[in-house]
Amino acid sequence: MYPAPLAVVYAIFFSYRHPLRLFLGFIIGSFLIAGLLFFWQLRHSGVQAIKAAGYIAATLILAYPLWFEVKQANIEIVIWVLLTFGVWLFVKGKSYSAAACFGLAGSMKLFPFVYLGLLISRRRYRAVAFSGFVALIVTLVSLWVVGPNILDTWHKTQAAVGEFRTTYILHLRPSEIGFDHSLFGFYKRWRRFPPTYMISSRIITAYMTVAAVAGVCLYFLKIRYLPVINQVLCLCIAFILLPPVSYEYTLLHLYVPWALLVVFAQEQSVVGSEVPGLTAAFVCLGILMAPLSEFIRHRERFGGQIKCATLVVLMLIGLRYRFPSSYDQETDIQPSTMEC
């Protein structure tokens, strides 16, 4: 039920004698490497080694999205690695390398393309086009690798994606809706659709159209003029919130803007500056990274809907309060008249 590039990723893991061991090792190894890089960044920001190590260790131990990912052994970790590396390359000023990462992730799932907003805000239009080219080439090669011919594999892949749409999007699945923090999942829970009821395709089409138009308008009117940390935060939330289904493992992606905010908070602490909205942002992130599966009423979980509301609040914080950092020195985007 995934696009062909993810099928190739699955094939790579299953080519090993013990695929589960390899995959779980990849998950843990990815976060350990990310933790070491984050440790170096905290030390560079002036945090003592013992404090930085303790903070990162506590974060990993209490990282509910990470342990949910380990439990489910979901392929989302591959998307997370690509997008995390892409954002890191972007803040380092390597536009084409970041675009390649975003293109690879976008070939596996559509919504990672929202991160191209980072490049558009800096007018890196050639890099944006390069990202689309990477996604196209990777998709064509993957279709050729997976099946007997590209066209036949494309049709079968689309049929499988259509089955996913019918099974997971157009039905309310009682055992999973409590973990779904998407806006559409909130709508399905609010409308109280019975499990056997099939939602009209017109509803999901209307939702996706409204979500796409509203997201594009919000980006061009507001998000692209914000500091880099705000952009990463808002685009990440859009990536998590707007798909028609979004389960706990997608919350992994919040660790990227969280890390940027932690470093930013440390830098502001050194100079004795208080930034409005920063504490509220960390409170929201704490709620989103905590296990809320025990919020149950009449045997129905509501943790996903609580996190959906929290994501909306966090988005408003990212739009309202600015978190300027050294990453913004590379940009040549000027504030809009409305911002001034």
Residue 335 located in a structural domain: no
What's the number of CA atoms in the CB half-sphere (13 Å) around residue 107?
26
Question: SS3 for 300?
Answer: strand
Residue 337 located in a structural domain: no
Query: Are 284 and 316 contacting, i.e. CB atoms less than 8 angstroms apart?
Result: no
pLDDT at 173: 81
Q: Is the pLDDT of residue 61 over 70?
A: yes
Q: Is the pLDDT of residue 255 over 90?
A: yes
The structural domain count of the chain equals 1
Confidence of residue 320 (pLDDT cuts 50, 70, 90): very high
- Over residues 273-294, mean pLDDT: 91
Query: Are 44 and 86 contacting, i.e. CB atoms less than 8 angstroms apart?
Result: no
Share the mean pLDDT of the chain. 89
- Over residues 281-297, mean pLDDT: 88
Residue 117 located in a structural domain: yes
Confidence of residue 271 (pLDDT cuts 50, 70, 90): confident
Range of the domain at 65: 4-330
pLDDT tens profile 119-146 = 999 999 999 999 999 999 999 999 998 8
Residue 159 located in a structural domain: yes
What's the number of CA atoms in the CB half-sphere (13 Å) around residue 19?
10
Residue 322 located in a structural domain: yes
Q: Is the pLDDT of residue 87 over 90?
A: yes
Q: Degrees (nearest 5) of the Cα angle 124, 129, 130?
A: 95
Burial of 78 (0-12, 13-18, 19+ CB in 10 A): buried
pLDDT at 164: 83
Q: Is the pLDDT of residue 332 over 70?
A: no
Residue 15 located in a structural domain: yes
- Over residues 45-53, mean pLDDT: 91
pLDDT tens profile 169-218 = 888 887 788 888 999 989 888 887 776 778 888 888 999 999 999 999 99
Residue carrying structure tokens 């590039």:
5
pTM listed for this prediction? 0.90
Alpha-carbon distance of 333 to 330, in angstroms, equals 9
Lowest-confidence region among 191-205, 213-227, 235-249, 315-329: 191-205
Residue 190 located in a structural domain: yes
Lowest-confidence region among 164-178, 234-248, 268-282: 164-178
Helices (H), 294-339: 303-320
Residue 336 located in a structural domain: no
pLDDT at 330: 55
Query: Are 308 and 181 contacting, i.e. CB atoms less than 8 angstroms apart?
Result: yes
